[in-house]
Chains A and B, each alone.
Chain A
C-alpha cells in the first residue's frame, strides 16, 4: 500500500516517458543514431549555461527556452549533416557535437559566476521526486509531438527506414530530418529534467531494442516496446522501493534485466526452430 502511495507518481512519469521514447527509440535504432539523445541533452545543457552567462536564473523560463532553442539548433546541425550519399557516418557528427557542446559548457561556466552544480540540478532530475504537475505538462507536450508524428507517420517512418526511396519520391528529406530531430530535442530537453540522462536513454533504447527482436511491423514493435517499458518501469519501482536504491538507476537495471531475459528467450526460440 505504501509502495503504491510512494511510487505512483514516479511510475506514471515512467509510463508517460516510455510512451514517446519507445516510439522515438525505434526511429533512432533504424537510423543507427542512438547517441543523438545524449548529444541533444548536452546541447540543451549548453543552452542553460548560456542563460546563466547572460545573467538569467538556471531554473527560470529564460533558461528553459534557451535550452530548447539550442536543442532545435542542434537538430539543424544534424539535418545539415545528412546527405543522400552519406560520406561520413552520422555517429561521427553526433560524437563531435556531444564533445563540443560539453566543452563549450565548461568554457561558458568558467566565465559565469558558478560551477556546474546548478546546471546539474536543473537538468538532471530525480524521477522519485517528480511532481504531478510536471507529469501533466510533459504528457501534454509529448501528446502534441506524438500526434504530429502520427499525422505525418508515412514520411517520418519511411525516411528513418528507407531514406533512398524517400529521396526517390522527391521528398525534402533534409526538412523532414530537421523536423524529426527538432521534435526529438523538444522531448529530450523535458524528459532529462524529469528523469535524468541515464533513465531517459534506457527508456529510449531498451524497449525498442527488445521490440525489434520479436516483431517487424511498427505496430507490433510499439505494442511490445510499450509493454516492456511499462513492465520495466514497474519492476524498477519495486527494485528501488524494496531495495532502497535510487529510482532512476533501478529503472535502468530493471529494463536491462528484462532485455536480457527476452534475448535468452529469442535465442531459445531460434534454437528450437532450427
Chain B
C-alpha cells in the first residue's frame, strides 16, 4: 500500500514536472515585443509575433494562421494605446476571453510608460492629435524598454510562479546590459544634442527625446495625406532658419516627398527603424537601438 502511494505520488510529481516544462505560448503583436519576451522568458516561453516589421503596423491584415496562433496562445502581448487597431478583432476571432483586453492573460506593454503627446484637454478627434491616448511609438526610447522588461517579468512570474526566479534573473541581466548600452548611446549626445531634425511622421519623439534632439516639424503631419504646398514652403524656410539637415523616416514609407525636400534644403534622409528586423542586422533589440543611434549620429556629424 505504502509502495503504491509512493509510486502514485512519484508519477504525479513527474507528470507535474512534465506539465511545468511546457513553455508558455506567447503571441506578440510586434517583433520588438517578441524579442523582449524571449529575453526575459528564456527557455520557459515560446514566442511568435504577428506583424512583420517591414510594414506599417497600422495596416496589418492578420491571416488564418495568425488567428490559429492566437487561439492557442497562453498570453497575448501588445503595444496598446491605439497602435494595433486589428488586435481586438483578432482576439475576438480567436475566441479566448482570457486574452481579451483586460483579461488575465492579456499584457498591455504601454502600462507604466510615461507617454508623450497626450492631448491635454478633453478634445475630440477633429481638433486633436492623431492619437487620443498619446504617442504609441514608445519603444523608440531604450529607457522605456526597461519598464517593459519589468512588466513582462511580473506577468510571467504571475502565470508561472515556479520559474519566477529565472524570470527575475533574466530581467536583471537584460536590464544590466541595457543600462550599460544606454550609457554608451548617451555618450553620443554631447556631439549632437540640441540639433533639430525633420521626421516623416510623429513616430520618433521618444527617440529624439532620448538623444536630446528636437523634432517639431513633420513632412506628413497626417499619415496618408500629402503635404500642402504651403506646408512644404514652411518646412523649407524653417530648415534654412533653424539649420535642419536631417530628415528621418522608417523604411516602409514612400520617400518621394522627403527626397525632394532633402534636395532643396541640402539634407540627408535617414532610415530609423521602428521594429527589430525592419532592415537586415536589426533583429535583436540591442542591434535595433544601435542602428538608430549610429545612423542619426553619423548623419548629424557629417553636416
1/0 per residue, CB under 8 A from B, across A26-64: the answer is 000000000000000000000000001111111000000
| Closest partner residue, chain A, to B89 (CB atom) | A129
B161 within 8 A of A: no
Q: Say yes or no: A55 contacts B127, CB within 8 Å.
A: yes
Residues of B within 8 A of A69 (CB): none
Q: Say yes or no: B125 contacts A7, CB within 8 Å.
A: no
Q: Say yes or no: A128 contacts B130, CB within 8 Å.
A: no
B68 within 8 A of A: yes
Query: Which of A113, A128, A247 gathers the greatest number of chain B CB atoms within 10 Å?
Result: A113
A259 to B123, CA, bound (A): 51
Q: Say yes or no: B89 contacts A126, CB within 8 Å.
A: yes
> SS class of chain A's interface: helix, strand, loop or mixed?
helix
| Closest partner residue, chain A, to B226 (CB atom) | A106
B222 within 8 A of A: yes
Q: Say yes or no: B63 contacts A129, CB within 8 Å.
A: no
How many B residues, CB 8 Å from partner? Answer: 31
B133 within 8 A of A: no
Enumerate B213-241 residues with CB–CB distance to A below 8 Å.
220, 222-226, 228
Which of A118, A121, A244 meets B63, CB within 8 Å? A244
Given contacts A115-B223, A116-B223, A126-B62, contact A53 B89 (CB under 8 A): no
Query: Which of B64, B71, B222 gathers the greatest number of chain A CB atoms within 10 Å?
Result: B64
- Minimal beta-carbon separation of B47 from chain A (angstroms): 18
Which of A52, A57, A113, A116 meets B129, CB within 8 Å? A113
Which of A57, A116, A126, A241 meets B224, CB within 8 Å? A116
A6 to B68, CA, bound (A): 7
Q: Say yes or no: A115 contacts B225, CB within 8 Å.
A: yes
Residues of B within 8 A of A56 (CB): 124-126
- Minimal beta-carbon separation of B56 from chain A (angstroms): 8
Q: List 21 A-B contacts (CB under 8 A).
A: A6-B64, A6-B71, A7-B64, A9-B93, A55-B126, A55-B127, A109-B225, A110-B228, A112-B222, A113-B124, A113-B129, A113-B130, A118-B125, A120-B224, A126-B89, A128-B61, A241-B64, A244-B63, A246-B63, A247-B63, A248-B61
A-B contact sample (11 more), CB < 8 A, given A113-B124, A115-B222, A128-B67: A6-B71, A9-B93, A55-B125, A109-B225, A113-B126, A114-B125, A116-B225, A117-B130, A120-B224, A129-B90, A240-B63
A interface with B by C-beta (< 8 Å): 2, 6-7, 9, 52-58, 106, 109-110, 112-118, 120-121, 126, 128-131, 240-241, 244-248
Would you list the 10 A-B pairs with minimal beta carbon distance, nearest first?
A116-B224, A115-B223, A115-B222, A129-B89, A55-B126, A115-B224, A55-B124, A244-B65, A246-B61, A113-B128
